[in-house]
Amino acid sequence: MKGYYTIRATAPGLSRGEWIALEASYARELEVALGGVDRTTELCLAAASEDANGAARAFLLRGSEVAAAAVRAALQVPADCRFSIDAWQAKEL
């Protein structure tokens, strides 16, 4: 199985271009904070499978906060913008 993660930015009034730029910037910053694409995917999958107090979830939360702060410092981000992360696995046929 191959793992994936997706980022979603939500804020009222964002244009499609702003929305895509925020999500892409957040994903890049998250990967920097967590140690690369593969490590980020591993942590997202691990966090999705553990309870709210799990170690991977706590590490992912810290990385998420760092990424959000970096994006807010670099781009004009609406105050009510929120980022979310989803993780999933797919079977290769």
Query: What pLDDT was estimated at residue 28?
Result: 97
List the one residue out of 29, 21, 11 whose CA is nearest residue 75. Answer: 21
Residue with tokens 């942590």: 43
* H or E element in which residue 57 lies: helix 55-74
Instruction: Return the SS3 of 16.
Output: helix
Q: Is the pLDDT of residue 1 over 80?
A: no
Length of the chain: 93
Cβ atoms 29, 93 nearer than 8 A: no
Mean local confidence (pLDDT), 17-34: 96
Task: Enter the DSSP assignment of 20.
Answer: H
Summarize pLDDT for 63-93 with one digit per residue, the tens.
Answer: 999 999 999 999 989 989 999 999 999 887 7
Q: Which of 32, 1, 15, 7 is nearest to 87 (CA)?
A: 7
pTM comes to 0.90
> How many CB atoms within 10 Å of residue 50?
13
